[in-house]
Amino acid sequence: MSGNAGNNTSKKIVPAKFAHAVLRTNKFKQMVDWYKTVLQAEVVFENQMLAFMTYDDEHHRLAIAAFPGIEDRAPRAAGLDHLAYTYSSLGDLVATYERLKAAGITPAVPINHGLTLSMYYRDPDGNKVELQIDNFATVEELKGFFRSHDFSKNPIGVSFDPDELARQYHAGVPESELKRYRPEDGLNPNVMRDMAR
Looking at the structure, do residues 51 and 109 belong to the same domain, yes or no?
Answer: no
CATH of the domain at 24: 3.10.180.10
> Greater confidence, 182 or 11?
11
Phi and psi at residue 103, in whole multiples of 5°? -90, 5
Q: pLDDT tens digits, residue range 143-162?
A: 999 999 888 888 888 999 99
4 belongs to a structural domain:
no
Can you tell me the distance from the alpha carbon of 100 to that of 94, in angstroms, rounded to the nearest whole number?
10
Looking at the structure, do residues 87 and 183 belong to the same domain, yes or no?
Answer: yes
Looking at the structure, do residues 184 and 108 belong to the same domain, yes or no?
Answer: yes
Instruction: Check whether 10 has a pLDDT greater than 90.
Output: no
Mean pLDDT of 78-107: 97
Looking at the structure, do residues 149 and 197 belong to the same domain, yes or no?
Answer: yes
Looking at the structure, do residues 114 and 197 belong to the same domain, yes or no?
Answer: yes
Q: What predicted TM-score, i.e. pTM, was given to this entire model? A: 0.89
- Give the range of the structural domain holding residue 63, as residue numbers without chain letter: 18-69
Looking at the structure, do residues 139 and 100 belong to the same domain, yes or no?
Answer: yes
pLDDT for position 187 = 65
For the chain, give percent helix, strand, coil, nearest 5.
35, 20, 45
The 10 Å CB-count burial string (b at 16+, else e) for 106-122 is ebebbbbbbbbbbbbbb
Q: Enumerate the β-bridge partners of residue 130.
A: 84, 120
